[in-house]
Every structure is written in C-alpha cells, then in structure tokens.
Structure 1
Amino acid sequence: MQFLSNPHGCEGWAGEMAQRIRTFDWSATDLGPLDRWSTSLACTVQMVLASPMPMVVLWGQAGYMIYNDSYSVFAGGRHPYLLGKPVELGWPEVAEFNRHVVDTCLAGGTLSFNNKALTLLRNGKPEDVWMDLYYSPVAGDSHQPMGVLAIVVETTAHMNSERLRQELTHNLEQRVANEVQARSAAEDQLRQSQKLEAIGGLTGGVAHDFNNLLQVIAGNLHLLARHEPHNEQVQRRVTAAIAAVDRGAKLSSQLLAFARRQPLSPAVYNPQRIYAGLGELLQRALGETIHIDVQLPQDSWCIHVDRNQLENALLNLAINARDAMNGEGVIRITGENIILNPDDCAGKSIKPGEYVCLAVTDTGVGMPPAVLKRAFEPFFTTKREGQGTGLGLSMVFGFVRQSGGHVQMLSEQGKGSVVQMYFPHSLEPETLDAYTEQTLHGGGQETILVVEDNEGVRLTVVELLQQSGYTVLTAEDGDRAMQALQGGLLPDLIFTDVVMPGRVKSTDLAEWAREQQPPVAVLFTSGHTRDILSTNHLLSPDIHLLSKPYSPEALTHRVRSVLIARQGCP
C-alpha cells in the first residue's frame, strides 16, 4: 500500500516494537510482506503502537500477534518470541481460551472480562494471574472482521491486595475456626515429625553398633567359607547364616531410609537409563506370570537421585504389586513430565514447579481407606507373619522425601493401587558412569591403612584385604592413624570408619589425604554416618562410602574402584 511507504505510514511508527515490526519477516506468515498489508491492518497497528495501554492485534484465523511496547512488558520472557506467532502457540497454556476469543470476534462479537483469573507460565513455573480483558473485532478493507483488537490490563497486584484485605476483614468466628483447624493440622504434622525423629534417633543410635556386629559375623563367616571350600556341611550352614545377616542388614537399611537418615549418593539420571539397567532384574524377581508394561517418555526430564535407592524403591513397589495380584497380571511402570501448580501441592511436602512422576500400578485387590491411610507406616502390613516386614513402603516414603520429592498412594478395593513418586526436574547435565565393571575385578599390590576401633571388624578386614594381595597396616583410632601419617607413612588408600573415639576424626584424616601430592585415596565405612560426612545424609560425589555390613566382593570392588579413580586409569 502507498500508505505504508510514505512518511505517514510505517516509517512514522516510533518505539522498540515499531522497529521490530518493520524488520520482522512477515512474508513467512499469512499476512505477507509489510508493504502489502491492507490499509485497515496498517492503521490498526499504528493505533496500537501509539497507545500507552497494553494492546495486541490478533490478525486472521490463526491470530498472528502484533503488539505495542506496553504489551511487551506484560509478555515478559516471551517477548520478542510472541511477535508474529499464532496466539495459540504463543500462549499454549490458555490456547482454548484464546481460540474462543478469536472465533467470537471474527464472527462479529465482542468480549470483556473483569479480573479474569488465568494460570500462566512465568519463568518456567505456573502462576495465578488476574486481568481485565477487552476484545473487539477489527474490520478489514472488505468491511468483514479480519482480526481482534485486545486490551490487556493485569490486575494481579490489586486482586492480591483485595484478597488480603478480605483475610483481614473476615468475621471473627471464621477466623477462630481457621486458627483451630490450622493448629490441629500443625499438631498432626508435629506428631508425624516427632515420630520420624524418634524412629530416626533410635535407628541411628542402634544402626552403627548393630551393623558393626553384623560386619564381624559376616566377615568371619566369609573367611570360614574360604578356609573350608570343600566342606559341604560348612558351606551350607555358612550360606544360611550369611542370608540371615543380609536380612538383618536390610531391616537396618529400611529403617534408616524411612527415617530419612540413610546416606545417599545422588547424581543426575534420565529415568529411561535407570529402567534399562533394572528391567531384567525386575522380571527375574517377579516371575514369568507377571507382565511388566513400561511407558516412559522419550523426552523424559532428568532427576537428581541415588540410582541404587531408586532401583530398590521400584523393586519394592513391583514386588508389592505382584503380591496384591497373587502373582499374576500386568504391572505398569510409567513416567511423566509434569508441572505442579500451587493447588496441586496443597497439603504436600513439595513446592510448585517441574517434576518427573514415576508410578507403579497394579490391578490387584486394592485397599480399603483405613488400610490405605496407614500404608506408609513402618512395620504396618496386612501380610501373614513371615510374609513381610511392613518396611517396603516405609523405605520408599523415606527415600523419596529425602530426595526432595513427594510420594502418594491411590487405591480402590477390587480395582488395584498406584504409587506415584514425584522427583524435582534437574537442569544439570546427566551423570555418566566413569568406570565399567570390567576394570574393577581382582585385587592389587597397593598399601592400605585400615583405621577401625572395633577389633573384630578390624581383624576380618585385614585378612580379607591381605587375601586380595594388598599390604595392610592398621590403626585403632584416628589419633594413632594421624601419628603414623605425620611420622612418614604414605599409604595408597586410607580405609577408615566414620564414627570413632578420640580427638582426630575420620574427616581430619580425609583432609590430610587431600593435602598430599598426589592426594591419597580415602574410602569411608560405617554402620551409620550420623551426618558426619554430609548434610541431610546427602553425600557429595568426591566422598566414597562403603556401608556396613559388606561382603568381601563389595569390599574389594570398592577399594579397587577408589584406587582406580585416584589414578585415573585401571
């Protein structure tokens, strides 16, 4: 149009948005090049650019967006992406609302909303907003409606202040009732927190000594088995005794998990990769009469979790599901990228934001409400004596909560159950496994300093390591170990208990090791770390921990892996 090429046309448009509109490649849209715009569209855009109000033109059936400087401020991080985009693509979370607006106005109608409540994504998170909205049709050169003129005024601040004023002016009776209800809820949460703390304190106090005892028993059993390799009676009894030790260790571990006091080594993983390493184990554990249906999104977000503990949680949930279906049927393991808004998080232990929801679903007998309410309580079980400890779901609960997530269970009698685990979306790059299993077999010739105050544990560890070819030196506590180190002893690895008597702590030994050139490798071991190595029992990647009780294979595997990590080669 001549209108657009003279000084009274687009060259006269002023402001940042005017410049963006002039330089935008409109030929890629249904509107065509700028110099071919209709007079009505050019005039409408000129009016919008001159207005101090936030205004946007939605042109054509697709609602291509052309807006002014004030609207760009409202658009926030979506500007300048919105320019020239169909409105349903620009604001996908309210696409249905905007489609209704465009269809209504192109049919000649108008719309207006006062303090309209909408949920928009801002900075990647859902946010409740309120707006005054006015929509009018814009006629084209043919006098038929060709677009929509929208005035958008955000009233969120006003609505928030108005709502606050109405909290403040609520009648006294209602305020008292709310206060009583809130206090009751707070007392319930406090009782639950105190129960967790009591179990955690009890478990933590017992776990260290209990796991030391199990380690002494397990270590001597393994040594006995090695000394009598051809005695079938000894081997049979040792195998039964070691199985009992493993069950005791599992009970201790599950209690620590429920109390959120287990040491975790979290890293960033894609759920697809976690299941790929777990699928075969699940099928073996569940049996051939169970079909596992896995539905994980190809574009799954990553999560920051302890991979071993997540695998244990999925295994526990799958076994529970199998038992609920009497060993036959389909178990579904699903994953979903979801965004939780404030309403979704009400009454939960998590904040609004992006999460990955991993769920295990069965078609079993389901649970009545009274049983469902107690499902995550430790030692609560509906199974017959000897069939279960009642700690499987408790362990899942504690692990997910300790990982910063939330777990919930839905169930209906006769229709089955679903357990949903919500883990925060991690934006960090995925962790890659540094070493393969093949590099970690066998022993070595290095010198290892074993620092352990429990004599029974110390003696068995020394013999196990010596049998693997290592030169082993010992110290009864941190004080004696530091004396030897400062006296010139330079081992290849320090294998130290975490909790020991004396002035010199295990962390002091690790600090000494880091200061050497080259640094000396350190492998911690403990029945319970009591948060000496971590905050909230979350271990950093540079801390290596072998939890008691451990097998000879686990010991030699971890010693070898830590030495390899220090050397940077096998």
Structure 2
Amino acid sequence: MISTNDADLDAAELFAGGGEVRSLARELDWSKSPLGPTTSWSPAIRTMARSMFDSPFPICLWSGPDFALVYNDPYRRILAAKHPAALGKPGSVVWAEIWEELQPQFEGVRAGGDPVYFENSPFIMARLEGGGTETAYFNYSLSPLRDEDGSIAAVLNITPETTERVLLERRLSEEQIALISSEQALRESEARLRHLNETLEAQVAARSAERDQLWSLSQDMLARADYSGMMSAVSPAWTHVLGWTEGELLSRGYATFMHSEDMPPTLEAIARMAETRLPTRFENRIATSAGVWKPIEWTVAPEPDGFNFIAVGRDVSEAKDREAELNEAHEALRQSQKMEAVGQLTGGIAHDFNNLLAGISGSLEIIERRLAQGRFDGLERFISGAQSSAQRAASLTQRLLAFSRRQTLDPKPTDVNRLVHGMEDLVGRTVGPAIAVEVVGAAGLWPTRVDAAQLENALLNLAINARDAMPDGGRITIETANKWLDDRGARERDLKSGQYISICVTDTGTGIAEDIADRIFDPFFTTKPIGQGTGLGLSMIHGFVRQSGGQVRVYSEAGKGTTMCLYLPRYTGEFFDESQPPEGAIEPMGAGETVLVIDDEPIVRMLIVEVLEEAGYLALEAGDGASGLKILQSDARIDLLITDVGLPGGMNGRQVADAARLGRPDLKILFVTGYAENAAVGNGHLDPGMEVITKPFVMTELANKITELIES
C-alpha cells in the first residue's frame, strides 16, 4: 500500500536544512500547488531546489506552465509583504502588477533556451504593507534550467536588487552638477564616495564570509575542478564523508578515487558537459580512506571560463540500503501473497481429500467383501468410483504443487469449461457456506492456450476477493462465453480484433468506488486492513492474462456488485485434452524386453511390475538406489530403467540414472515422481531418452509411455 506521507517525507528530505523559507517549504502541501508533489518534480528542479538555499544571492525558480515560484531566503527580501504567501504560487498571482512585462521574457527563455540579462531595470511593485507601491531596480538574469535530456525544466532567475545603488548614483549625479560651482560641495562628494566605497567593501566582505560559511557547513561534497583531471578546492564535507584530507584530495587526480568500472562513464559525462556547456548528473563509486566504496550522486556544471567546473556530490549509501530493503520487502510480499492464497486453500483441500479418501477406501472395502462372497455383479460401479476419486485426488495434488512452485508453467491448449467445473467444489469450500457459487459454462466453448495452473490461481483469487466484498453472504457466478470482437469492441478492451473466450466472475458485494477503480491493478494497492492483504493479487492476475495475449476488464457499481472478466485468445490448433486418461485394456506390445523397476514403495512397485508383465515385458525389481545400481552395473540385459525420483539410502533416482548411463550410455529412463514435474528432475532438464510421469497415473498411460520409450 502506498503511504499518504511519502510526498511529505520527500519534501522534508528535499528541503532539509536551516532557514525560514526551507522550513516553510517542508511544511507546504505541494500537491495543492501548480507544481504538484515534490516526488513528481524533474531531476533538474529537485537538484536546484536543494542547492539554491545555500546561495547568498536572491534566486527564484519559475517552474511549470504557470511559472510557479520556488525561492530562497535572500529572495524573500525582494518579496517583502508578499512573503510567505508567494511560495508555490503562479507568477501571474505573485507579481500581478508587473506580469504583463515579465511574462514575455520568461516565455521567450523557455521557448528559445537563450539566457537574457537586464541591468538596473525599474519596476513599479506593490510589495509594501497594505498594498502600497514603490519603484525598485534590479540586475536580473533569466537562464534555462535543463534536464539531462536537454529539455528546459524551469527558468532560473538570479535577481539582486540595485535600488539603493541606483538612487545613490542619481543623487551623486545631481550633486556633481552642483559641485562645478562649489569646491566645498566637491569635497563633500568625495567624502560620500569614500563612504560608499567603504560600505560596498564591507558588503562584499560580508557576502564572502557568508559564502565561505555555507561552503564549510554544507553536508554535500562541493568542489571546483578542471577538465585536466585535478581539483583546486574541496569543501570540508569531503573529509567528513570519505576520510581523505584536503591535501590528499588536491594532490591526486579525481579519477584515481573512482571505481575502475565507473571511471569511463564518469569521464565521458564530464567531457560531454565540456562540449555542450550544459550541466549534467551521474552516479559513481568513490573510495574512502578506509578502502570502502561509497555511491555518490553528482551534479556538475561548467564555469564560464571554459576550463573549470563546479561539482556537488551527495552520499546516497543510506538511500541505496533503503532501496535494497524495499526490494526485499517487495519480494517477501509477493511470496506472502501466494502463501495467503495457499492458506485459503488449506481448509477446502483437507475436506476434499477426506471425501476422496472415503470414496476410495469405501469402494475398495465393498469390492473386497463382494469378492469374498463370490458376488461379481455390479463391481464395475465401485471400481469406477474408486478410480474417479483417485483421479480427482491426483488432480488436486498436482494443482497444489503447480500453485506452490515459483517457476513459470508452459501454456497448453485448455478446455476452460472443464477447468472451471473442476474448481467449483474447491471455490465453494474456500468462500464458505454463506456464499452460493454458480458455474455457467457456455455450450461449445472454444479452447484457449493458457497456463491452466495460473488460470486456476487467478480464478481462486478473484473468488476470494468476491468473498471479502460480501461479508454478509451473497452469490458468486463464474460464467464462460465465446466472444468475437470487432475493431470497436477490441479497441474498448485494448485488444486486437478477433475471437476470444471470456471467463467472468460476478459477485453481489459492495462494488468498487469510482475514485480507486483506476488503481486496483497497481502492485501493492489494497483496500484491505493491514495484515489482511498484500495488494498483489489483482496485479499478478493482470500480468498473467496480458502475458497470455488477453485482457482483464472490470465492471462495478457501488453497492450492487462487481464483475471481473478475463479475455483470452481462442486456440485454433489441434486440441487434445490431456486431463483425460487414455482408456482401454493394456495391449501386449512387448517382445521379452527387460525393464528394471526401482521404487521404495512395494505397492507401487507391484503395480508397475503387473503392468509390465501384462504388456509382455520381463521385470526386475529393486527397493532402493544402491541395490538398483548393482543390477545396472552387472551384465544383465536392461532395455529400460523405471525409477522413482525420491529414493531412500542417500541416492535419488536422478543420481541412479546418471550413474547408470556411465556404463550404459544409451539406456532409456522413465522417472516416476509424486512431486511437480519440473521440480523433480532438476527444473525440467531431461537428457535425450529420458521421460517423466507423475504419480498417481493411469495404468494404460504408464503402459503406453513404456512402449513408446522402448520402441523409440
């Protein structure tokens, strides 16, 4: 969830430091100003806004389409009674009385990019208490403030007031005329001039002292350097951040302090700045005196002399650490979202498994009792029931394994109606008895090519969201349909025109408020209380559907419910429903070939051997990897190895197979596993002549796989 205080925290960091205007800027709600929240400001504006407060000169940034003001403490003396209301306001509001003259100048700089300078320009300004006006004079420059891409982000205005000097010079001029006829007047004028010079010298000295103090107190690393590779001045912050003395820093080339990987791009950026005469920003790693690399963010700007430039560096180590912590937190949240859904599954899965086991064990008991009684009529019904329950249990297990693993699954042609009906019981168990679940499958629904496990995950998450929107109970309807989208309908859904299927999940809940409808697919956005949702469910669904060539559309009305529709492209290729097991008896396809079976479960081993013998193959057995490997290392003929992946005794099935192929490089191998396919054999990596089949399996399917491998 995005914190509403993030913008405030950013302003607090951006305007950190002393001064009245900085304090006001930290407290101001910038999101209500024409400039918007500080998090949206361009890098150039943020850099200048951070550094301009250290300048002794009155500086103002005119930013945005309305030329809104951001200024430093010296500039507030120019504003006089207009301060502090002027901060963040448009220029047309702050300087309404002179805006007709100022606006064309600012527009010209922003449009053409050429700086302008005016000397002793007069303005009639309404800046006195009560709205009174006065004539003031200024030396002011207007320069474009450019971002890294060269675009003009704002107009930089440096504007020292010269009113006192202009008025003094005028008075001196009038007095000089009178001095022509009066020697005494001349001497008085000379005295005034001497006083003026002394005053100006004192002001210059005071400004220099103030600038030196800012240089000394700045937490940023300030430096003056040249293009030949040396620094001529560094601020004390260098020693504080990096540990090097001033003498060490000025006696070595600045490139020697850089990480070797960062040196080429840094020197290239400085060379580009020298050529374009435009400020630039970059980041590199600088060595400390203790041998530690610190990430430093630099802003560098050329000086007019063409030989030197000014550099401002900021240690971003803490920011990097916070970013790494945030990435870890995001990854943890992603995994917790999946585990949240697994938790929702637990109750329903336990109930379903107990039902399935009851069907299997009950059917087998009845079969055993009737066989003992010699009654063979009607056994097919109980055999079919046991097989059906076993297949449903296998499907449920594979669904849970596929859901819990983290690797991406391959999309396959899928019968969505069968998938949705197969989930109906699971969805019902998950949402609880207070909510009715109805599935409406379209007749003749087209197949689609999709990752079935992720589609199941998506539908389950949508059902959980629908449940949470109906705390007092209600109805969830899952409906499928064929959709043929023309150009207009496709544009409305941000899709290409063509044939699609839709899967819509509709609830009768509280609906989605209009003010958040555009944000529901944003990562980590959630309206649930803290600890009850990660805000990743809908964003993951949206990403999965878009990667599958489809789209998600939401239709909601507050107080009446929500419909979430997933659109997926129609699959037109050859379709075979892999969820349906092959039927029929096991044909005797073998010609006496020998198959070694390694499995630590005696019943499973017995069933595989039975299938082999029915199919006409000779079977050898081993209960663990070590005894199986002994047979493989003997002279016995072996045409196929069937091995469980998880074996006791310190050697798993994959290790047995690899060891066997050292002496039998052409040996064909069939892995049998109860785990997810990819996880079982090393992320799905199989060498030629290797196949895998997952437990539980239909016996005819096993027989076909054995024959296919042996005859290949």
Larger Rg belongs to = 2
Higher RCO (CA-CA < 8 Å; seq separation 6+): 1
Q: TM-score range by the shorter chain?
A: 0.3 to 0.5
TM normalised by structure 2 equals 0.35
TM normalised by structure 1 equals 0.42
